[in-house]
Chain A
């Protein structure tokens, strides 16, 4: 079954804690992306990667970090430096100049 998956579906973070969101795809896509979506708002790009071992900052990268060690995986770490991380996080993948496929999302809440 081809697709893009994210885990966990829900995540709770305590103050000062780092948490990592998982994103995996078996679509053989080169590019992967992370977006943040606040309630009633649009999609804001956090980081993106066009190729293994390379990634670029998006519009709101501060307080986040990523890695791209494998083509299939693009985990996102929300660090304690991100002061307001409560949001819906969406991962996506694509081939160049083609549609993005989105994962089901992770809803992060700060306790």
Chain B
């Protein structure tokens, strides 16, 4: 089955700097890669996703890149703000049956 690794586990950046979180997956059959943001005590919410036929996708300050050959995808947040502080999870679909999540990255944006 699919396995997803995520790095780093914690990340601290100064407000206004960029943050990058990287994930690798094991199964080349995976086609859909979402990113979720979870604030303390709340539910995870989708912030951006990418499909296997696309190399990059942007939404304002957030972007995701996918390298299918190397089997890794990354989340890029530019011009970070304090409200970006949260735990971020990457995921990969598992033959369309369910999703495998990475262990999460705790991002702290320091004022």
Residues of A near B46 (CB, < 8 A) are: 99-100
Residues of B near A64 (CB, < 8 A) are: none
**Is the pair B96, A58 in contact by a Cβ cutoff of 8 Å?**
no
Additional 6 contacts, C-beta under 8 A, given A42-B89, A56-B97 = A45-B98, A48-B98, A97-B31, A97-B32, A100-B34, A105-B43
Most interface-central of B89, B97, B98 (chain A CB within 10 A): B98
Residue of B32, B45, B104 near A42 (CB, 8 A) is B104
- Chain B residues with CB under 8 Å of chain A are 31-32, 34, 42-46, 49, 89, 93, 96-99, 101-104
Residues of A near B97 (CB, < 8 A) are: 48, 50, 56
**Is the pair A43, B98 in contact by a Cβ cutoff of 8 Å?**
no
Query: How many residue pairs, one in A and one in B, have C-beta atoms under 8 Å apart?
Result: 42
Q: Considering only CB atoms, which chain B residue lies closest to A94 in the complex?
A: B99
5 residue pairs of the A-B complex, CB under 8 angstroms, read A48-B98, A58-B98, A96-B96, A100-B46, A105-B42
Tell me what chain A mostly uses at the interface: helix, strand, loop, or mixed.
loop
Residue of A33, A43, A99 near B34 (CB, 8 A) is A99
**Is the pair B44, A97 in contact by a Cβ cutoff of 8 Å?**
no
**Is the pair A90, B32 in contact by a Cβ cutoff of 8 Å?**
no
Known: A42-B104, A97-B93, A98-B32. A33 touches B98 (CB 8 A): yes
